[in-house]
Chains A and B, each alone.
Chain A
């Protein structure tokens, strides 16, 4: 796997968007399964940074994770 395709796979997983499987459980994006273990460690660090940037850009300090959870509870917007 070259660096370019590895970075694109990681970016596909960095999104806070998650679908649910037929049993109603949150499912990892398909690309997650293709990442080797060491890339998953790196992904973890990138995920922290991505959420931090989202928090910085939101007036209430909400990351994409927080917004996704609140949307599931029927609360959207500021």
Chain B
């Protein structure tokens, strides 16, 4: 039984903290499987909707799944179906992949290892001034608050706030590259 399977077994019994641990393990491979749909749908929206539906699915029929990492494979199929429906709703079907894609493999868990975490944190600590404050606000509260609210709290206009995050991300990318951060090992 894989770590994903162990988490999901507890999720099926209604354990929300186990669901959080499952999300942490499946997010990157699940997101990676949506690359072919990036032109047709809002990938972030499809991700969040898929993950919310997986919670409901787990409580209802999760125990029916069989095989190694079956919950991840099921989530990938659900995400593809959602993406297809969203593309139709947005009238962007012409941007869908033309060929029928093979089933994406359920890839092994790829999470940032401690060394990569250290490099990322070290590079973030080197940021300063407005770019650092803007990115920090996004990292801390970006999942629950809109940019306008975050910008106002920092005394910035929303466009200035975003330009500062752009600057911060560029500085961060340079620092990660200079320090040999092994991003390719964790990003599809």
The answer to whether B154 has its CB under 8 Å from any CB of chain A is: no
Q: Which residue, A7, A15, A32, A50, has most C-beta atoms of chain B within 10 A?
A: A15
Could you count the A-B residue pairs with CB atoms below 8 Å apart for me: how many are there?
152
Q: How far is the CA of A67 from the CA of B51 in the complex (A)?
A: 11
Known A-B contacts A67-B143, A69-B48; A60 and B112 likewise in contact (beta carbons under 8 Å):
no
Chain A minimum-CB-distance residue to B42 = A28
Give the size range of B's interface with the partner. Answer: 35 or more
Chain B residues, CB < 8 A from A32: 42
Q: In the complex, A46→B112 CA distance in Å? A: 16
Q: Is the CB of A17 within 8 A of B145?
A: yes
Q: Which of A27, A49, A57, A64 contacts B124 (CB 8 A)?
A: A57
Q: Is the CB of B38 within 8 A of A43?
A: yes
A61 to chain B, nearest CB (A): 5
Instruction: From known contacts A43-B38, A53-B172, A62-B24, infer whether A68 and B144 are also in contact, taking CB-CB under 8 Å.
Output: yes
Q: Does B133 contact A (CB under 8 A)?
A: no
Contact residue among B20, B52, B120, B159 (Cβ-Cβ distance under 8 Å from A53): B120
Chain B residues contacting A63 (CB-CB under 8 Å) are 24, 27
Nearest-CB distance from A30 to chain B (Å)?
11
Given contacts A8-B163, A69-B48, A69-B52, contact A16 B124 (CB under 8 A): no
A75, CB-defined interface residue at 8 Å: yes
Interface range on chain A (Cβ under 8 Å from partner): 35 or more
Interface of B is mostly: helix
Q: A11-B165, A48-B188, A65-B47 are in contact. Are A37 and B95 (CB under 8 A)?
A: yes
Residues of A in contact with B (beta carbons under 8 Å apart): 4, 7-8, 11-19, 25-29, 32, 37, 40-41, 43-57, 60-73, 75
- B residues in contact (CB < 8 Å) with A: 16-17, 19-21, 23-24, 27-28, 31-32, 34-35, 38-39, 42-45, 47-49, 51-52, 55, 95, 111-112, 116-117, 120-121, 124, 138-139, 142-147, 159, 162-163, 165-166, 169, 172-173, 183, 186-188
- Additional A-B contacts beyond A41-B38, A51-B31, A73-B16 (14; CB < 8 A): A8-B162, A11-B163, A12-B147, A12-B162, A17-B145, A28-B44, A43-B38, A44-B43, A56-B121, A65-B31, A66-B27, A68-B48, A69-B48, A75-B20
